[in-house]
Structure 1
Amino acid sequence: MENNALANRLKLLRDKKGLLQKQVADKLGIKSNTLSGYENGSRSPDHKLLNSIADFYNVTTDYLLGRSDDPELTEKEEDEKLYKELDEILDNLPEDERNRLWSKIKAYAEGLADANKEN
C-alpha cells in the first residue's frame, strides 16, 4: 500500500511541477531509471533519499508514503527544515565566521522578542 501511494504521489508531484524524470533524478543525484522504479512502485527509496525527495517537493514524508493526505508542512516541520538548512550552512563556515553569525542571529532574535513584549 505504502509503495503504491509513494509511486502515485511521486508521479503526481513531478507532473504538477511539469518536470521530466531526468530533471528530478538529476536534482536528487540519482539515475532516471531509479526514479522510474520509485514511480512505478517496483523500488523504494531509503530514508535519506525519501527525506531529500520530500524536501525537493516541499511536502512531508508522511504525505509521500500515503500516511497523510495533507502535503503541507506543519509550522514545526517548517522550523525543523529551516534549522537543518541553517545548521548545514553554519557547518561549512570557518569557526570565527560561524561564531560571528550566531551572535548576530542571537541579537536579532532577542530584538524580536523585545519588540513582541512591547506589543
Structure 2
Amino acid sequence: MSVIMMGFKDRLKELRSKKRLTQEALAAALEIPESTIRRYESSDDNTPRRERLEKIADYFGVSVDYLLGRTDDPAPSDKMDDKEARMGLAFITGGEDLTEEEAEYLKESLELFRRMKERRAKEREK
C-alpha cells in the first residue's frame, strides 16, 4: 500500500494552522505579500523559489524536503558535523589543519556573506 505524501500547499497550510497564524500574519512574518501566501496555498503549481523555500522552512523549523512533500520527517537534516565542516574549510588553507578559532571565524564570515547576499537580492526584488 502506498502512502501519498502531502505537497507544498498542504504542508504550508498545516504548518500555518498549527501556529495559529492567518495568511496575513504569516505573510508579515516572512515579509512577503499576503496574496503570495494565498497563491501558495491554493495551487500545486505555485512553489516558491529556493531562497523563499528556505526562509519558510527556517521560519517553521522544518526541512525544505518536508515542505515539498519529499519526506514526512519535518526535522531539518543535520548540517555537517564540526569535523566535516572543518575538513571542508581546510581546502582554503591548502589542507593544513584549522584551529578551532580559524574554523569559527571562517564559518561566521561565510554566514555574514550569505546574509548580505540575501539582503542585496531582496533589495533588487523591490
Report TM bin, short chain: 0.5 to 0.7
Task: Report how many aligned residue pairs link the two structures.
Answer: 85
Q: Name the structure 2 match of 1:47.
A: 50
> What residue ranges of structure 1 are gaps of 5+ in the alignment?
93-119
The aligned residue for residue 96 of structure 1 is none
Rate the CA distance shift 1:78–1:38 in 2: closer, same or farther, 3 A.
Answer: farther
Q: Residue 15 of structure 1 corresponds to which residue in structure 2?
A: 17
- Counterpart of 1:87, as a letter, is E
TM-score, L = length of structure 2: 0.58
Query: Is residue 90 of structure 2 the alignment partner of residue 87 of structure 1?
Result: no
* Cα distance between partner residues in 2 of 1:20 and 1:66: 22
SS at match of 2:79: helix
Q: Which runs of 4+ in 1 moved over 6 A?
A: 77-80
Alignment match, 1:61: 64
- C-alpha distance in structure 2 between counterparts of 1:78 and 1:20, whole Å: 36
In the superposition, the TM-score normalised over structure 1's length comes to 0.61
Normalized per residue, which structure has more helix?
1
Residue type at the aligned position of 2:70? R
Identity over aligned pairs, percent: 39
In structure 1, what is the equivalent of residue 40 of structure 2? Answer: 38
> Structure 1 counterpart of 2:41, which letter?
E
Gaps of 5+ in 2: 1-5, 86-106, 117-126
Matched, 1:75 2:78: yes
